């Protein structure tokens, strides 16, 4: 375990020899032990205390505690500080220890997994943490890959194996890996025990095979492999195996990475190349970071300011003490002698300074931090208990996994979301199709109108087909009727779907077919053909067998014209039993429609309308076509294809030209529409969050076309957008040029709609303020290889400016580390609160980097949840988490802090004024017990109730009016300005609190004519006035009254008077005569009408200006929440029902999504026969799993955000005017 955290120098090369632990250990490679926890038993206490004392407030209170231990300057007992300080430190430590315990538990669970390791020629069960570089491991079906392995051999022919990489890139479709031929024959342990292949990770790992060994930095022995050092590139690997006097190049296709799952492969053997922290999965995992909210950081600054203010007050009073002692006190040495050790007025002033520091420290009491933690804990429980965020299907509640970030949920400006499993369910469904100009898939009612989902009849009955997949559902019976009636176009349509693919089939038992597809979309198409009677049964390298309406037909497979991102289509050429040669093709509509025969014009027009309709519903569309080939033409073309495949140089270009030649003059069959099922409520959630001025960026490992289709489906992208920019450059210059052109287009469009004056005026502000001049809505789509250049130091600002000017940003094919880098970029330059949400291990780095991390407990394990701050099961709950819980938490915390600072300045500053009338002697106005109990008993519970339960508008209104969220983004409710207003009100209250009773008591008498002015009577009057005033003030601040609020406010007042009378009672005096000397003082003082009139006058003068100011503000400049409350009252009076928001559909453009989660080269693999299965292993299921003007003004002043950053006007804007 010690090696988990061992630090090593960066590697320049890696050398690995199989079955040679002693040789490999001399390089001190990392073991396979992982560590994500922060503490251990030894380091917990010092490290945790160090982290806690980074909080300025904790250091401040420790300093005060030390002062209180000095008897010459302390006028308060030390326990008043140490008890709450220890309590705060203990609560925080327990919370941190609990969090780290679960990290340790997760680490131990992973590290103690079992793996079969070849040791001494025998397979032994070893824990993952004991696996070492150079070990040979045996994996079995459905097992996780323990480390980054070089695939040596497998149970499949030609060393093939199938893996699922959901933990790495979020994709649940299977991928193929293949061992190099020379090791594929090593199928048993005796052969593998003799294998001594050695792997080197070197600077020279990429040198051509023809270069001499002399160029290597070390001598290369037979049986060595040269590979790259550890890195975070998931899609690249380079190396060379030196064995039996030959060199064998290695690539990513030969590697099994940690986090992958072996699928549909009985067993395989692999050589450990990278282990533990060196694996690509761990290289892409960010470190656990200590997260603080912006309010925490602001409070640290304010505490420093308050301490400076405290020092200034102490200096003023100390100077006053020195002057008074020098001028006046010296005359009263007989009656008021100096303390022992004090020999001068200056030294008396010096001691007085520290005494006042202790007395006045209550401007920031330790109870503030205890209360903050209690409020945050309450907010966390509200999230955990929210039944509207509970998923009954998965029995998963929402969970606040941290208690420190709740209020920051109300300040989020940027959301970074994964796609697969977060926005989508990763389930592909054959939804609709167009065949020969007829659209199928819409169900109509008796009147001929399109039926809604809830009105749909029973799905189509496929019982006639014994090979049908029972999970497949289709709702339009007319398509099945067309099949049964022998419609030739429909038959040819499904024949194409059953032949033109790279799906592999296995029949576990008679009639029980299991398909394994490279992409879930392709699997959905083949499954649709299967249910409609065209069942793909099996294939060989040269044949495909299909059961067409019960009759088995074998087609000769002549060629597969493979898919790639440039072609955006795939084709097969088959010969029917009758000898007819036909090419079947399916692909993107933009590509295929221009390759059709001119005779298809009318049909093309109709099909295009259908494509637009399907795309408007967010479906992934695909066009199908065919072409008959003459025998002589095919022979000539086939010979040229064979020659092109043998050309060593530019082979791909030659093949592409031949493919393009044959894929012309095709006849249109129709189109398919596949639904990549979004999670429920995703489009609505994105729309509402956009209205709340939250920018959403999608960061996904999927291909560009797939991500763009989902962007349209969830309404991030629309056809109303001015332009969608696609950045695909492969070099720095290309990416820079594409970003520059995008900005120029946006600027040109803005110039055309802005007059020169306003435009130039905007340009004259900050650089990023140019975004405010952008007119229109834009979107940016950027690929992973382009993003790598865009994130370089000299280009990152250009990329960020371009992206922030766009309404939607989609980053495709990004690595986990790139996701984190994008989040870090926005944090660095935008100074905005970021939230990252994902469901897989590939999202962990992003989740840890963002201010707030949210994990979706979905199909891809719990790694994202374990790394997150909040978790739930569906993306739609994010809307409620932010707009309700987040907004309320921010509102409550801000109101709590404002009131807390107010009441403590009102309480403490009375001592400052009193100092001028007591000879600056550090005498307190209140007795010691009142000082101790003021923040613990008298005023703690009411403010806690407000901080936990308060709300300005009900939750329904928070969801209806997303603009209510904007004050949190602009940090309006608690900032430096609001802080100064609070302390100004507190100082104003303290002045009245002291001087009104002081003025009254100067000449007041009791009922019996005795002088009223004495120290204890004055103290009782001021203390009572203070408790009443702050209680009335919190009543004014409370916006949502509950029984708990009433109980705490009135209960605190009752507790004050009860304790006050008890402390001045005869009983306590008799028990503790030295502590409670002033018997009956409270009763006598509060029995005087003059005292109550003084208290009433003080309360009125303190409260009336506040009430008047708030009334005028509400009348002259109401906030949006005020208007919403007023509207709610009007609605209640009128008893009208609130109109619900309607979601408008879009008329979409044509897009194709099918094969874009496909990999090039799979067709060639099929034709070679290398992937044909010989074993009878049963396949397991791998189914994939209204803005006010004042807010606008403040937003413009904030800078750094453009017009695209502003949210579009919502329903609230149309309904309300502020």
Please state, in angstroms and rounded to a whole number, the distance separating the CA atoms of residues 1211 and 1208. 10
Count H helices and E strands in the chain, helices first.
43, 34
**What are the distances in angstroms from CA 140 to CA 162, 195, 950?**
11, 20, 56
Do 533 and 631 contact (CB within 8 A), yes or no?
no
Which helix or strand (DSSP H or E) is residue 268 part of? strand 267-274
- For the record, the structure tokens of 337 come out as 């002698």
Please state, in angstroms and rounded to a whole number, the distance separating the CA atoms of residues 1117 and 1103. 21
Exposed/middle/buried for 896, CB within 10 Å: 0-12, 13-18, 19+?
buried
Close Cβ partners of 373 (under 8 Å, ≥ 6 residues apart): 88, 91, 92, 403
Exactly one of 418, 476, 839, 869 is catalytic; name it.
418
- For the record, the structure tokens of 132 come out as 């070492």
- For the record, the structure tokens of 317 come out as 């009073």
Is the C-alpha dihedral spanning 974, 978, 983, 985 positive or negative?
negative
Tokens 């694996």, residue located? 279
DSSP string, 950-995: --SS-HHHHHH-GGGGHHHHTT-SSSHHHHHHHHHHHHHHHHHHHH
- Helix, coil or strand: residue 109: helix
DSSP string, 612-647: HHHHHTT-EEEEEEEEEE-HHHHHHHHHHHHHHHH-
Q: At what angle are helices 976-1003 and 294-327 packed, to 10 degrees?
A: 30
Tokens 């049986």, residue located? 223
Do 465 and 476 contact (CB within 8 A), yes or no?
no
User: Quick one: CA torsion of 870, 875, 881, 887, rounded to 10 degrees?
Assistant: 120
Which helix or strand (DSSP H or E) is residue 89 part of? helix 79-111
- Contacts within 8 Å (CB) and 24+ apart, 790-797: 790/727, 790/735, 790/739, 791/818, 791/821, 791/822, 791/825, 792/732, 795/732, 795/735, 795/736, 795/739, 796/825, 797/829
* Neighbouring C-alpha atoms within 13 Å toward the C-beta of 1091: 24
φ and ψ at 483, to 5 degrees? Answer: -65, -45
Is the C-alpha dihedral spanning 801, 804, 810, 816 positive or negative?
positive
Please state, in angstroms and rounded to a whole number, the distance separating the CA atoms of residues 25 and 975. 56
Name the nearest CA neighbour of 337 among 320, 354, 325, 353: 325
Which helix or strand (DSSP H or E) is residue 745 part of? helix 732-753
Angle, vertex CA 362, rays to CA 356 and CA 363, nearest 5: 100
Please state, in angstroms and rounded to a whole number, the distance separating the CA atoms of residues 843 and 837. 8
Please state, in angstroms and rounded to a whole number, the distance separating the CA atoms of residues 1073 and 582. 110
Name the nearest CA neighbour of 419 among 673, 712, 689: 712
Characterise 416 by phi-psi region: left (phi > 0), alpha (psi -120 to 50), beta (else).
Answer: beta
Do 540 and 1172 contact (CB within 8 A), yes or no?
yes
* Known active-site residue 676: no
Do 574 and 559 contact (CB within 8 A), yes or no?
no
Catalytic residues: 418
């Amino acid at each position: 375990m010690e090696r988990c955290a061992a630090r090593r120098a960066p590697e320049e090369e890696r050398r690995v020899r199989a079955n040679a632990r002693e040789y490999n250990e001399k390089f001190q490679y990392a073991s396979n032990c992982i560590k994500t926890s922060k503490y251990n038993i030894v380091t917990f206490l010092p490290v945790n205390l160090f982290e806690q004392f980074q909080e300025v407030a904790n250091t401040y209170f420790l300093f005060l505690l030390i002062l209180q231990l000095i008897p010459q300057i302390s006028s308060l007992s030390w326990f008043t500080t140490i008890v709450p300080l220890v309590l705060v430190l203990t609560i925080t430590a327990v919370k941190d220890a609990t969090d780290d315990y679960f990290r340790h538990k997760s680490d131990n669970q992973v590290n103690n997994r079992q793996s079969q390791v070849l040791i001494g020629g025998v397979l032994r069960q070893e824990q993952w943490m004991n696996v070492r570089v150079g070990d040979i491991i045996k994996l079995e079906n459905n097992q996780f890959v323990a480390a980054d392995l070089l695939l040596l051999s497998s149970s499949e022919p030609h060393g093939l194996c199938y893996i699922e990489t959901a933990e790495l890139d979020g994709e649940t479709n299977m991928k193929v890996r293949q061992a190099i031929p020379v090791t594929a024959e090593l199928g048993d342990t005796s052969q593998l025990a003799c294998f001594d292949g050695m792997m080197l990770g070197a600077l020279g790992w990429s040198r051509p095979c023809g270069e001499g060994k002399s160029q290597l930095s070390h001598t290369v022995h037979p049986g060595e492999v040269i590979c790259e050092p550890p890195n975070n590139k998931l899609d690249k690997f380079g190396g060379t195996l030196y064995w039996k006097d030959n060199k064998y190049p290695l690539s990513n296709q030969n590697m099994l990475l940690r986090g992958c799952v072996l699928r549909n492969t009985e067993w395989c053997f692999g050589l450990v190349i990278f282990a533990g922290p060196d694996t690509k999965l761990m290289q892409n995992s960010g470190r656990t970071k200590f997260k603080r909210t912006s309010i925490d950081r602001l409070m640290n600054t304010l505490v420093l300011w308050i301490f400076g203010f405290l020092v200034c007050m102490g200096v003023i009073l100390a100077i006053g003490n020195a002057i008074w002692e020098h001028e006046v006190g010296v005359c009263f040495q007989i009656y008021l002698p100096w303390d022992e050790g004090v020999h001068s007025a200056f030294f008396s002033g010096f001691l007085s300074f520290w005494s006042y520091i202790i007395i006045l420290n209550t401007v920031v009491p330790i109870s503030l931090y205890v209360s903050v933690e209690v409020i945050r804990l309450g907010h966390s429980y509200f999230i955990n208990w929210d039944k509207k965020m509970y998923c009954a299907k998965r029995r998963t509640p929402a969970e606040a996994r941290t208690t420190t970030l709740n209020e920051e949920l109300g300040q989020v400006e940027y959301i970074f979301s994964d796609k697969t499993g977060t926005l989508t369910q990763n389930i592909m469904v054959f939804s609709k199709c167009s065949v020969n100009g007829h659209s199928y898939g819409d169900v109509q009612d008796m009147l001929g109108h399109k039926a809604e989902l809830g009105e749909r009849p029973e799905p189509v009955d496929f019982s006639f087909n014994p090979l049908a997949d029972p999970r497949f559902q289709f709702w339009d019976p007319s398509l099945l009727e067309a099949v049964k009636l022998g419609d030739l176009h429909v038959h040819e349509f499904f024949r194409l779907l059953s032949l033109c693919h790279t799906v592999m089939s296995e029949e576990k038992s008679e009639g029980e077919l299991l398909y394994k597809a490279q992409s879930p979309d392709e699997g959905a198409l083949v499954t649709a053909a299967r249910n409609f009677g065209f069942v793909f049964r099996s294939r060989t390298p040269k044949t495909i067998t299909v059961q067409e309406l019960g009759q088995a037909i074998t087609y000769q497979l002549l060629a597969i014209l493979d898919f790639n991102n440039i072609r955006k289509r795939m084709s097969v050429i088959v010969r029917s039993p009758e000898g007819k040669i036909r090419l079947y093709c399916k692909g993107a509509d933009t590509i295929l429609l221009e390759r059709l025969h001119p005779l298809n014009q009318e049909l093309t027009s109709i099909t295009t309308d259908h494509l637009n309709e399907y795309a408007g519903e967010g479906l992934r569309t695909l066009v199908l076509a065919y072409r008959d080939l003459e025998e002589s033409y095919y022979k000539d073309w086939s010979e040229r294809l064979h020659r092109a495949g043998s050309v060593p140089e530019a082979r791909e270009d030659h093949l592409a030209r031949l493919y393009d030649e044959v894929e012309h003059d095709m006849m249109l069959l129709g189109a398919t529409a596949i639904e990549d099922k979004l999670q429920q409520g995703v489009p609505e959630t994105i729309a509402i969050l956009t209205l709340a001025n939250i920018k959403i960026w999608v960061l996904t490992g999927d291909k560009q076309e797939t991500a763009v289709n989902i962007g349209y489906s969830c309404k991030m992208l629309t056809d109303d957008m001015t332009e969608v920019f696609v950045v695909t450059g492969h070099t720095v210059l290309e990416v820079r040029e594409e970003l520059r052109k995008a900005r120029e287009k946006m600027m040109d469009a803005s110039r055309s709609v802005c007059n020169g004056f306003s435009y130039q005026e905007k340009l004259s502000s900050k650089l990023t303020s140019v975004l405010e001049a952008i007119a229109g809505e834009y979107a940016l789509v950027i690929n992973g290889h382009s993003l790598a250049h865009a994130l370089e130091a000299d280009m990152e600002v250009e990329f960020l400016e371009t992206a922030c000017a766009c309404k939607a940003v989609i980053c495709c094919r990004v690595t986990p580390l790139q996701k984190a880098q994008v989040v870090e970029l926005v944090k660095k330059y935008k100074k905005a609160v970021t939230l990252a949400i994902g469901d897989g291990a590939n999202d962990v780095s992003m989740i840890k980097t963002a201010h707030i991390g949210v994990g979706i407990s979905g199909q891809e394990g719990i790694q994202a949840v374990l790394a997150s701050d909040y978790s739930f099961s569906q993306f739609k709950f994010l809307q409620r988490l932010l707009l309700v819980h987040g907004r309320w938490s921010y509102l409550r915390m801000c109101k709590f802090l404002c009131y807390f600072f107010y009441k403590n300045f009102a309480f403490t500053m009375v001592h400052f004024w009193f100092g001028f009338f007591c000879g600056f002697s550090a005498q307190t106005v209140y007795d010691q017990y009142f000082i101790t109990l003021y923040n613990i008993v008298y005023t703690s519970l009411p403010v806690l109730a407000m901080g936990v339960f308060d709300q300005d508008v009900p939750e329904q209104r928070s969801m209806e009016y997303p603009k209510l969220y904007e004050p949190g983004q602009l940090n309006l409710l608690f900032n430096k300005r609001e802080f100064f207003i609070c302390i100004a009100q507190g100082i104003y209250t303290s002045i009245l609190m002291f001087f009104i009773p002081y003025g009254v008591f100067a000449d007041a008498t009791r009922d019996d004519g005795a002088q009223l002015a004495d120290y204890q009577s004055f103290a009782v009057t001021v203390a009572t006035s203070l408790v009443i005033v702050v209680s009335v003030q919190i009543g004014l601040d409370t916006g949502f009254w509950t029984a708990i609020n009433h109980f705490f406010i009135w209960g605190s007042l009752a507790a004050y008077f009860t304790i006050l009378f008890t402390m001045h009672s005869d009983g306590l005096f008799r028990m503790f005569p030295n502590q409670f000397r002033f018997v009956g003082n409270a009763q006598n003082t509060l029995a005087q009408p003059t005292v109550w009139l003084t208290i009433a006058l003080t309360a009125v003068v303190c409260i009336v200006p506040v009430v008047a100011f708030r009334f005028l503000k509400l009348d002259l400049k109401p906030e949006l929440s005020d208007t919403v409350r007023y509207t709610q009252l009007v609605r209640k009076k009128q008893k009208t029902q609130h109109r619900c928001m309607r979601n408008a559909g879009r008329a979409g453009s044509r897009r194709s999504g099918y094969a874009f989660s496909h990999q090039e080269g799979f067709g060639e693999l099929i034709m070679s026969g290398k992937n044909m299965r010989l074993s009878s292993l049963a396949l397991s299921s791998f189914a994939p799993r209204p803005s006010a003007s004042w807010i606008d003004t403040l937003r413009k002043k904030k800078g750094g955000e453009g017009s695209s950053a502003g949210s579009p006007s919502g329903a609230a804007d149309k309904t309300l005017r502020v």
